[in-house]
Structure 1
Amino acid sequence: MGRVKSKDRKKSRSLGSIFSFYVIGMMLGFIAWAVVAYVIFTILIMTGAVYPSNYAEMQIANFYKTLSSAETITSDMIPDSCKYMLFTEDGTVIDGNIDEEYVATAWNAVSSSAVGGEYYYKAITRSGEYLVFQYKLVPQFKSTFLRKYFPNVQNLIYIAIIVGGVEVMHISSLLFGRKLKKRMIPVLEATKKIGERDLEFEIEKSGVQEIDDCLKSIDDMRYALKESLQKQWTSEQEKNRQMSALAHDIKTPLTVVRGNAELLLESELDDEQKCYADYITGSAQQIENYVQTLIDVTKSQEGLHETTNKVRVQSLLEDIKKQSLGLTRVYDQKLQFSENCKTDTIDIAYDQLVRAVMNIIRNAAEHSPEGSDISVDVTEKFDELRFTVTDSGKGFSQEALKHATEQFFMDDNSRSGGMHYGIGLFFAMNVAKMHGGDIKLSNSKERGGVVELSIKI
């Protein structure tokens, strides 16, 4: 065992270590993205596009003296990062833009520093009145439009970090998935080849310890299956050879029995003796048919050899027509043979193709009554040469249409009469597939069954 090989000399790594590598990479990617977000935030503050958190307090401090001594307060004197409210000494609102729900909190800031939720307040005592500012201690956009319609910068940074972190996890997962899929290729290729019954291959190492262990098990299974199939094939071949040899050996004494029986019939015999001699001749003929069937079975199990030669189409058709005429005469039938082919030569396994077509014609003759017609039409369509054989029998049953090309299938319910062992159409189908074609079975509306054998030109 142990036939798994590696493309390189790198040591296999465990799946856990590979996963840990991607987890560490994901964490580093998340940290890197957070650093990038922080750097961008710092640059925005340094360029003035974003105000720092204490920007509002700094503005209030800068305008403190001006605002505390000014005769009147107008909205254009208020720092742009703050809202304000102007009260009398008894708390009556004079002017301002603080929301109504925060007015009471703003008034409380006159006597002490106050915080109202997310807002901070700062009061300036003036002559007979108080000026109270409302502001936030968070970074803010310089642009009034951005401050109004966008979340504050700090929340945007948090959102960007979260979204970036999710994307880093997504990318890491994709990379890990692709890596694992690539490592799984040897497993997929091995199972595919075994499924196709191709056991002559070497399994390559994936580089992942757990997958390599699985590959080793698959390789052991492949090797064991290969040995088992080889032993089975050798055993079947030996059985076929023995059966074929036995069948040929039987033909020798059978020929002697049949020959002597025919000689007896030529001699002077009474009626009873002639009857016995006829029995011997008929039985010998039947046994000879059985022996030939046994030989055909062993040949069909050995498979077909794809040895092709270039032959003239006309010579092929003349040979088939000649044999078909002889066959239909034996069955006292009429042959209707037509051909319409333009191709001059084709590459085929000549003997096997002729035998396949004749099997179909013989099958048609066996299931047609005496005096009926057997049609053989040879046509060329697109890149195919088609042999269509139509008999005058009862046609194929529904079961025969599905299974007639299977080995040993016999449908005595609808097509009986004659020696039929389910070999002829099976052999013809194998020959057709060897030539890149197929066999189709159907029933004619006017007559009997139709068999169409096609081969690629």
Structure 2
Amino acid sequence: MAGIRKQKSISKIFAGYIILFCVITAVLVGFYSIMFIMFINSGLILPANYYERSIETQREAISKADKVSDVMPSGCSYAVYDAKGKLMETNVSDDKATDMMNRIKNNKTIDGKKLYKYIERKDGICIVQYRLNAEFANETLRRYLPNCEVMYNYSFIVVFIIEIFIISRLFRKRLNKEMDILKQTTAKVAMENLDFNVQYSGITEINDVISALDKMKEELSDSLKKQWKIEEARKSQISALAHDIKTPLTIIKGNSELLNELDLTETQKEFNDSILKESGNIEFYIKLLIDINKSQQSQSIVKESINSYEFINDIIKQGEFLCLNKNVKFASDVKEVSETFNGDISCVKRAVMNVLSNAVQYTPKRGRILFSVYNDDKYMHFIIEDSGRGFSKEELTMATEEFYQGDKSRNSRDHYGMGLYIAQTFVNKHGGIINLSNSEYLGGARVELTILK
């Protein structure tokens, strides 16, 4: 499989990040342990048994001292009782001192990390409460901060959370980088941009999907090429057939016109007129086929700067001429538009005139047609409204389809609805759209051509 990098499965990549996470965590634990030991050795932190050792060191002094507070290690709570059980000296409240005495009597000398022990004196006992945990050597730090074990745990948790965030971010970044390759491939295929070499990722599962997309891309490309060739052949055949028909048709029409100059009976003249009429219909259909072929040709449009007012005035003149032949009233409503817009002038004109011709076709004598123009920041809008019968519900969705005939009950073969199809083809080439609706103002059809400026 060409272009594939060294790849791993997602499970292996994930396992790699888990191992990295465990290694970093172990390093952090080791680092914190070493730092803790160094702080203890340097005297910045007191070891957990510091108070217990200090009390044992001062045991004899405490047993003999007249004033225990002078020899009691800092950070310890104590209560001195005489032989009769009377409280003689303490650095805690009376209730706390009583609780300390009860614990000694009941042999409850451990309360979590608090420990209690008593030292016999010649005239009573001294009960001492101390903690079995590491502490800051600095008294100010002991007073305002939690004990150093809590601080140690809190700081480790914070660093641990940061580690999780960084590792997960690295994993997500790696995964997103590989997924971007898949997204780019699917986007190109979706836009039918099939002329590209597929780039593979470093993840097995993603490569499986990309490989399937590559196969689909090749099959789709072959299918589109075959379809394009068939379509081009069809267009060539239609174009050739249309031109081939014109020669015998011209002969038939010419001979029929010559026959009309002879002295024909009424019946013969009627038959000959019918031949001329149907010859005219065939000419019309041939022209439609040629127009369709031209509108479907794949060559790109040539955009240029079009003078808006000159273009609009030209359309108005042609619209007035079309309406004059059918005794239809033509009106225009041109808003203030930008001086120029970009487009292929021939294509845009044919699109507008095809819609205008349709409107004249379906507007009854003495009817009305309104041609409106306005623009916004991105588009030019050309609107043609008529006072004809308007669009049916079916026509609103299908009138722009090729060879759509509209009202199937009509016997007339003069028009096959090609005008809207051809107009839509040219408008689409300009990145625009056609909207069909019924006119609230004139009661007939309303067609809006939106052209990208």
* Mapping for residues 116-127 of structure 1, pairs under 5 Å: 116-127=111-122
The structure 2 residue matched to 1:186, chosen from 181, 189, 193, is 181
- What are the Cα deviations for residues 161-204 of structure 1, in whole angstroms up to 9, with x where unaligned? 34433432232111101111101111100001111111122222
1:383–1:173 distance in 2 versus 1, CA, 3 Å: closer
* Mapping for residues 258-277 of structure 1, pairs under 5 Å: 258-277=253-272
Partner amino acid, structure 1, of 2:352: V
Q: Runs of 5+ in structure 1 lacking a partner?
A: none
Cα distance in 1 between the residues matched to 2:396 and 2:410: 12
Aligned residue in 1 for 2:242: 247
Q: Which moved more, 1:327-336 or 1:375-384?
A: 375-384
Q: Could you tell me how far 1:425 is from its partner in structure 2? A: 2.1
Cα distance in 2 between the residues matched to 1:414 and 1:341: 43
Partners of 1:360 and 1:424 within 8 A in 2: yes
Q: Which moved more, 1:12-21 or 1:113-122?
A: 113-122
Cα distance in 2 between the residues matched to 1:389 and 1:415: 23
Aligned residue in 2 for 1:214: 209
Aligned residue in 2 for 1:305: 300
Partner amino acid, structure 2, of 1:295: I
Q: Could you tell me how far 1:127 is from its partner in structure 2? A: 1.1
Partner amino acid, structure 1, of 2:263: E
* Mapping for residues 343-354 of structure 1, pairs under 5 Å: 347-354=342-349
Partner amino acid, structure 2, of 1:79: P
1:432 and 2:430 aligned: no
Partner amino acid, structure 2, of 1:123: Y
- Give the count of matched residue pairs: 448
TM-score, scaled to structure 2: 0.84
1:81 and 2:75 aligned: yes
TM-score, scaled to structure 1: 0.84
Cα distance in 2 between the residues matched to 1:83 and 1:174: 49
Aligned residue in 2 for 1:104: 102
Partners of 1:406 and 1:426 within 8 A in 2: yes
Partners of 2:435 and 2:448 within 8 A in 1: yes
Q: Report the 3-state secondary structure (helix = DSSP H, G, I; strand = E; otherwise coil) of the residue aligned with 1:184.
A: helix
1:159–1:378 distance in 2 versus 1, CA, 3 Å: closer
Partners of 2:135 and 2:147 within 8 A in 1: yes
Cα distance in 2 between the residues matched to 1:108 and 1:372: 114
1:357 and 2:352 aligned: yes
Q: Could you tell me how far 1:68 is from its partner in structure 2? A: 1.4
Aligned residue in 1 for 2:446: 450
Q: Report the 3-state secondary structure (helix = DSSP H, G, I; strand = E; otherwise coil) of the residue aligned with 1:199.
A: coil
Partners of 1:89 and 1:130 within 8 A in 2: yes
Cα distance in 2 between the residues matched to 1:164 and 1:347: 61
Q: Give the alignment's Cα RMSD to 1 decimal.
A: 3.5
Partners of 2:113 and 2:133 within 8 A in 1: no
1:432–1:325 distance in 2 versus 1, CA, 3 Å: same
Aligned residue in 2 for 1:56: 51
The structure 2 residue matched to 1:18, chosen from 13, 19, 27, is 13
1:131 and 2:126 aligned: yes
Q: Report the 3-state secondary structure (helix = DSSP H, G, I; strand = E; otherwise coil) of the residue aligned with 2:58.
A: helix
Cα distance in 1 between the residues matched to 2:342 and 2:165: 57
Q: Could you tell me how far 1:360 is from its partner in structure 2? A: 0.7
Q: Which moved more, 1:399-408 or 1:246-255?
A: 399-408
1:125–1:103 distance in 2 versus 1, CA, 3 Å: closer
Partners of 2:295 and 2:425 within 8 A in 1: no
Cα distance in 1 between the residues matched to 2:110 and 2:312: 107
1:283–1:167 distance in 2 versus 1, CA, 3 Å: same
Partners of 1:107 and 1:132 within 8 A in 2: no
Cα distance in 1 between the residues matched to 2:164 and 2:257: 93
1:376 and 2:371 aligned: yes
Cα distance in 2 between the residues matched to 1:413 and 1:151: 91
1:353–1:71 distance in 2 versus 1, CA, 3 Å: closer
Partner amino acid, structure 2, of 1:181: N
Q: Runs of 5+ in structure 2 lacking a partner?
A: none
Q: Which moved more, 1:332-341 or 1:192-201?
A: 332-341
